[in-house]
Amino acid sequence: MSRYGIPTSGVKSSYIKDILTREFEGKIGFHSRPQRNQSDLVYDMSGGGSYVEAALSSIGVSSEQLVCNVAERLRVDIKSIKLVPWPPRVEELEEEEELSLLMVQLLSALRGKKGVDLSPSTLSLTSLITQYVTMRPTTTAINATVTLHGMTRSKELVDSYYKLGKGISYSNVLLLRDVWTMHDLERCSVCPDEIAEGEPSISIIDNDDFLNDTLTGGGTAHRCNWMFLQRLERLVWEYEANIQDEHARINDAKTVSRALTEKVSEMQAVTPYRTIKRGEPPIRPKPTTFSSSTEPQRKRSIIHALARADINGDGPDAAEQTIPSYSGFHAGLNMEQRKSKAYFHTSYNQPPNKSVVNDVMDKLSTIIATKRMPFAFLVGDHPVYVLITLLKAENPNKYRDIVPFLGPFHTQCVMMSTIYKRYKGSELGNVLVAGGVIAEGSVDRALKGKHYKRGLHCLRLMYEALLSQLVKGRLVPNLADETRENLEILRDTSLSKESRAAVHVALEDDADLESLITNPSGGQ
């Protein structure tokens, strides 16, 4: 009785027995008293259960007293739960959160659920109540607030969420991002730890331009970003915490911000490069080429043109066309490719000039030696590629394991510009404008490669239109029955990807396509 807040002084067992008898009548019974001055044990006449709790409530335990009793027991249970340390590391937030099972049972009972309800809403609410009781952030609250800030970047929304007791404050979100950045910088001082050893990697240098908020809009801020790429299955996922606790658990925002500024300034420090001996890129020998080097690509273009046409070689109306464009058509036939994972490593507060590129190449040489890589590609746009080749020519031994590489996107832009100069005056732009493919004011820059997607779309449509006329006049009338059946299979998009891909491979070996590629004009 004292556990339930009822005074026990002067209370006789006979008085309690009378109360129980009036309350439950014939539903309960009493065991015989084994010794003198000891209370009888109450039992259930119908099911064998205990009526002690019900009997005590009938004595006069109020609802307020019941709530206090429950709160006291829950508070002790919740405070015994181990919470995530503050400020937490990223990997600590990915671990399963420990929750009070007693609180989960209470919430399940409040919802009228039989048993324990382990739904996400119940677990999330349990975590928020734990934060309210302990006055310390929980894993759920931290993850929810960081996700909200990442999606909206809104200080007002994050603080409103915090005032409702459902997350952490905006200042703590900024503190976490600074702490996590410090963790990454200390753990990955040379390069990202996840990069596998003994495997080549791809480094990319990119120049980012940001317009300043000026009256004329002419001011521009330049930054140089450096990142890594490597095959996903080759990565090393193990993580070993090698940071001292006194540095890892700093929760003073000013201290973390000052340390982060010093660390970033140290990483962004660039020694001016001075050319001691000016060199020129070595002349590479002309690679051996074959007349059929573009044959697979030309075959795929012809097969795509045949698939988009009907049995007579005529193209259906756009509303009735079921075969997608060139890229979508071949993407639907290819199997899933292995993906690479990107790792951002360093950002310089200046454009990729010669000194910055030299600093990147110095650090990349150290990374190659540390990770025991056979070589590493260094990718950049055309101006950066020129700097990479010049620096390698001036320091051939120092950068012998670095392979300069012009990015595929920039290579295609150069090829589009080459096509524009080669066919300038052929009225290619006039045809595209007359066909409604592109506006007159944009066609010139698109064909120069300045508007990449528009220019590629224009060239692809023009190539496909010319190829369709060639295929219709020479190839379609002479197609074999087996080839026509294979084309029908390619047109049937309801078939599986594997069966259509097998037919596509068979068509690449078709003799009719071989003859068209060998003599595309047919003597005309």
pLDDT, tens only, 457-499: 888 888 888 888 887 877 777 778 888 888 888 888 888 888 8
According to the model, what pLDDT value does residue 61 have? 56
302 located within any domain: yes
Residue 12 has pLDDT above 70, yes or no: no
0.75 exceeded by pTM: no
513 located within any domain: yes
Taking residues 244-254, what's their average pLDDT? Answer: 54
**For residue 452, what pLDDT band results from cuts at 50, 70 and 90?**
confident
Distance CA 490, CA 385 (A): 41
| 9 in the same domain as 132 | no
Among the candidates 10, 26, 61, a domain finishes at 61
According to the model, what pLDDT value does residue 49 have? 47
According to the model, what pLDDT value does residue 365 have? 92
| 486 in the same domain as 441 | yes
Considering only residues 401 and 292, tell me which one the structure prediction assigns the higher pLDDT: 401
According to the model, what pLDDT value does residue 333 have? 83
The CA-to-CA distance between both ends of the chain, in Å, stands at 109
Considering only residues 34 and 121, tell me which one the structure prediction assigns the higher pLDDT: 121
SS3 content of the chain, % helix, strand, coil (to 5): 55, 10, 40
| 44 in the same domain as 167 | no
According to the model, what pLDDT value does residue 361 have? 92
Quick check: helix, strand or coil at residue 346?
Answer: strand
Considering only residues 262 and 50, tell me which one the structure prediction assigns the higher pLDDT: 262
On average, the pLDDT of the chain sits at: 78
Which of 105-119, 192-206, 231-245 bottoms out in mean pLDDT, i.e. has the lowest?
A: 231-245
CA dist list (Å): 198 to 192, 230, 343, 369, 372 = 14, 12, 18, 10, 5
| 85 in the same domain as 56 | no
169 located within any domain: yes
168 within 8 A of 142, measured Cβ to Cβ: yes
DSSP calls for 246-312? HHHT---HHHHHHHHHHHHHHHH--PPP--SS---PPPPPPPP--TTTTHHHHHHHHHHHHHHS-TT
Residue 218 has pLDDT above 60, yes or no: no
Bridge partners of residue 228, in order along the sequence? 203, 343
Among the candidates 161, 180, 199, a domain finishes at 180
According to the model, what pLDDT value does residue 379 have? 92
492 located within any domain: yes
Token pair 């399940």 in the structure block, residue: 108
Distance CA 193, CA 93 (A): 19
According to the model, what pLDDT value does residue 238 have? 39
Residue 339 has pLDDT above 80, yes or no: no
186 located within any domain: no
CA proximity to 520, closest of 479, 461, 473, 483: 473
Containing domain of residue 487, as a range? 295-336+410-518
| 46 in the same domain as 166 | no
CA proximity to 123, closest of 150, 149, 94, 103: 103
Q: Considering its fold, how many domains does the chain have in total?
A: 3
Which pair of tokens denotes residue 50? 């205990």
Bridge partners of residue 301, in order along the sequence? none
| 511 in the same domain as 416 | yes
| 109 in the same domain as 45 | no
| 510 in the same domain as 433 | yes
Residues 6+ apart with CB under 8 A from 126: 99, 100, 103, 104, 107
Residue 391 has pLDDT above 70, yes or no: yes
According to the model, what pLDDT value does residue 357 have? 92
Distance CA 449, CA 446 (A): 5
253 located within any domain: no
| 169 in the same domain as 36 | no
| 86 in the same domain as 130 | yes
Task: Spell out where 418-510 has E strands.
Answer: none
242 located within any domain: no
| 145 in the same domain as 22 | no
DSSP tally for the chain: helices H, then strands E: 22, 7
Taking residues 339-359, what's their average pLDDT? Answer: 83
| 138 in the same domain as 34 | no
According to the model, what pLDDT value does residue 245 have? 45
Token pair 């060639």 in the structure block, residue: 470
29 located within any domain: yes
